[in-house]
Amino acid sequence: MFETLSQRIRAAVDKLRGRGRITEADLKATLREIRMSLLEADVNFEVAKGFVQSVQEKTLGAQVLESLTPAEQILSVVYEELVKMLGGEAKQPVLKSEGNLWFMVGLQGSGKTTTSGKLALFYKSKGRRPLLVAADTQRPAARDQLRILGERIGVPVLEVADGERPETTRTRIQQHLTFDYRDLVIVDTAGRLQIDEALMGELAKLKGVLGPSETLLVVDAMTGQEALNVSKAFEERIGVSGLILTKLDGDARGGAALSARHVTGKPIYFAGVSEKIEGGLEPFYPDRLAQRILGMGDLQTLLEKAKAAELEAPDKALKDITLEDLITQMRQLRKMGSFTDILGMIPGMSRMLPAGFQVDERQVNRMEAIVLSMTPKERRDPKILNASRRKRIAAGSGTTVQEVNRLIKTFEDTKGMMRTMQKQQGRGRGLFRR
Ligand code: GDP
């Protein structure tokens, strides 16, 4: 998802690169392209229009930062607006010490049952004691599906009988809570293929009786704009406190996912990123998604620069990259998740990596320890690292001289490789952009 959009927005901004000055007409042309890419990605029309308008206003009104090129300045405004469109700060559902009852609603096939299981596992692994309630009496196999899922992840499942009255369900849940202390009840409810008045009535009634602390709407991001109509209908009829977008790993254009927050006004709490229960659900971070869409490598450097807003040698020539830069980059990346996750965020990369590929994080930690044991001078100029210095570094970092040698060799090789890549690409892009 988002790959075409990502490529197009980046191409639009790239056209401005290398220019010292841009006119208002240049800006408008770029914004037109961004608007087209958003619409082609199936972003809601009003959302796309509003987005481009704010970018334009902000860019024209912006103070010119000497440390940023015009292309970089536009990119940073686009980034800010994208984060805003996706909801700004990441939000999580309210979780009290007890008495949490989450009501899961959504169309049939949206991923409600799967997501209920994923949520149970997610919070179980954080030390919570979830109880799953299989109240989907519409889809014949849904209760079986949830029961099997519960057995697999070690979470009890309470099954609602056909025609059971909501009051009975409430009593049964309470009994369960009393006998087997549970602090988070997740109720998987019935869905239909389309919005259906009778179903909405039933759901509204069940919700009224159970009195959930959160009502989470599960939305299939693959269904495009239709997903937004569905969301509005659920909000009007049942009331929704937050969204969970599923199937973000699919190859749909992604516009619905991008517009959902804005159109519904509800926070997106989680994203479903795989069919698997284990690891198939991630908290939704607007800033990370925006970074992924705009190309993370570019942005890391850029945001750092925008923040510092200092002149200090803004763009480093590749040959000047030091081990210190390497550590800074690694730390910034680390803040965004594990290296394996990060590789997966790079558009197209997930398909290139073998299934189950894992970066050895311990290895990364050791590399970091080695670099940290060097003096600043050594980090800037590894050439001075003679045998005795290498020995000292190995001792300081709890590694071996062989490992220190390997790191320095890898670093030099990478520099060489990047230099070649950059020559091939003309003006290079990526982590170490010139
Ligand atoms: P329900 O009818 O809403 O309960 O839907 P299900 O939970 O049965 O899910 C419908 C289908 O979508 C199943 O095949 C799930 O495996 C699949 N699914 C759910 N969430 C995701 C997701 O985040 N990614 C992918 N690829 N598939 C998902």
Query: Residues 353-373: pLDDT tens digits?
Result: 555 666 667 777 888 889 889
Report the separation in Å between the CA atom of 183 and the middle of ligand 1, taken as the mean of its atom positions: 25
**Same-domain status, 67 and 125:** no
d(CA 315, CA 292) in angstroms, rounded, equals 21
Which atom belonging to ligand 1 lies closest to the Cα atom of 114? Answer: 7
Average pLDDT taken over every residue of the chain: 81
Q: Cα–Cα distances in Å, from 422 out to 78, 173, 372?
A: 26, 62, 28
d(CA 306, CA 73) in angstroms, rounded, equals 8
Better-predicted residue by pLDDT, 245 or 60? 245
DSSP 221: G
pLDDT the model gives residue 430: 32
**Same-domain status, 162 and 256:** yes
Better-predicted residue by pLDDT, 151 or 408? 151
Asked, for residue 341, whether it belongs to a domain, the answer is yes
Residue nearest to atom 9 of ligand 1 (CA): 111
Arithmetic mean of pLDDT, 400-424: 75
**Same-domain status, 48 and 173:** no
pLDDT the model gives residue 420: 61
**Same-domain status, 311 and 374:** no
Asked, for residue 226, whether it belongs to a domain, the answer is yes
Total domain count, the chain: 3
Report the separation in Å between the CA atom of 178 and the middle of ligand 1, taken as the mean of its atom positions: 32
pLDDT the model gives residue 385: 92
CATH number at residue 339: 1.10.260.30
Which atom belonging to ligand 1 lies closest to the Cα atom of 142? Answer: 4
Arithmetic mean of pLDDT, 327-351: 60
DSSP 261: H
pLDDT the model gives residue 140: 73
d(CA 352, CA 338) in angstroms, rounded, equals 18
Which atom belonging to ligand 1 lies closest to the Cα atom of 272? Answer: 23
**Same-domain status, 300 and 278:** no
> Percent of the chain, pLDDT > 90?
38
Count of residues making up the chain:
434
d(CA 147, CA 170) in angstroms, rounded, equals 19
pLDDT at 169 over 60: yes
CATH number at residue 153: 3.40.50.300
d(CA 157, CA 335) in angstroms, rounded, equals 36
**Same-domain status, 193 and 294:** no
**Same-domain status, 250 and 124:** yes
In the Cβ-directed half-sphere of 192, how many Cα atoms lie within 13 Å?
Answer: 11
Contact 327, 371 (CB under 8 A): yes
DSSP string, 137-160: -SSTTHHHHHHHHHHHHT--EEEP
Listed range (177-181, 259-263, 315-319) with the worst mean pLDDT: 315-319
Better-predicted residue by pLDDT, 329 or 191? 191
Contact 210, 166 (CB under 8 A): yes
pLDDT at 57 over 70: yes
Given the DSSP bridges, would you call strands 268-272 and 281-283 parallel, antiparallel or unpaired? antiparallel
Listed in sequence order, the residues at least 6 apart from 193 whose beta carbon sits closer than 8 Å to its beta carbon are 107, 108, 109
Q: pLDDT tens across 203-229, in order?
A: 999 999 999 999 999 999 888 788 888
DSSP 223: G
pLDDT at 9 over 90: no
pLDDT at 345 over 60: no
Extract the annotated binding site. Answer: 106-113, 188-192, 246-249
Joined tokens for residue 109: 């096939």
Domain of 414, in residue numbers:
333-425
pLDDT at 183 over 80: yes
Q: Which H or E element spans position 220?
A: strand 214-220
CATH number at residue 304: 1.20.120.140
pLDDT at 432 over 60: no
The span from the first CA to the last CA of the chain, in angstroms, equals 28
pLDDT the model gives residue 118: 96
Asked, for residue 434, whether it belongs to a domain, the answer is no
pLDDT at 163 over 80: yes
Report the separation in Å between the CA atom of 125 and the middle of ligand 1, taken as the mean of its atom positions: 21
Joined tokens for residue 134: 């299989």
Asked, for residue 95, whether it belongs to a domain, the answer is no
For residue 247, report the phi and psi dihedrals to the nearest 5 degrees.
65, 35
pLDDT the model gives residue 5: 87
In the Cβ-directed half-sphere of 27, how many Cα atoms lie within 13 Å?
Answer: 22
- Would the ipTM clear 0.85, i.e. be above it? yes
Asked, for residue 94, whether it belongs to a domain, the answer is no
Contact 244, 113 (CB under 8 A): no
Which residues are near ligand 1 (CB < 6 Å)? 106, 108-114, 139, 142, 191, 246-247, 249-250, 272-275, 280
Extract the annotated binding site for GTP. Answer: 106-113, 188-192, 246-249
Report the separation in Å between the CA atom of 274 and the middle of ligand 1, taken as the mean of its atom positions: 9
Which atom belonging to ligand 1 lies closest to the Cα atom of 281? Answer: 23
Joined tokens for residue 118: 């994923």
**Same-domain status, 25 and 40:** yes
Asked, for residue 112, whether it belongs to a domain, the answer is yes
Better-predicted residue by pLDDT, 245 or 421? 245
Asked, for residue 125, whether it belongs to a domain, the answer is yes
Asked, for residue 327, whether it belongs to a domain, the answer is no
Tell how far CA 157 is from the center of its chain: 29
**Same-domain status, 112 and 252:** yes
Report the separation in Å between the CA atom of 126 and the middle of ligand 1, taken as the mean of its atom positions: 23
Arithmetic mean of pLDDT, 261-269: 89
**Same-domain status, 73 and 152:** no
**Same-domain status, 228 and 160:** yes
Which atom belonging to ligand 1 lies closest to the Cα atom of 139? Answer: 2
pLDDT at 433 over 60: no
**Same-domain status, 79 and 64:** yes
pLDDT the model gives residue 349: 53
d(CA 261, CA 150) in angstroms, rounded, equals 30
Report the separation in Å between the CA atom of 110 and the middle of ligand 1, taken as the mean of its atom positions: 6
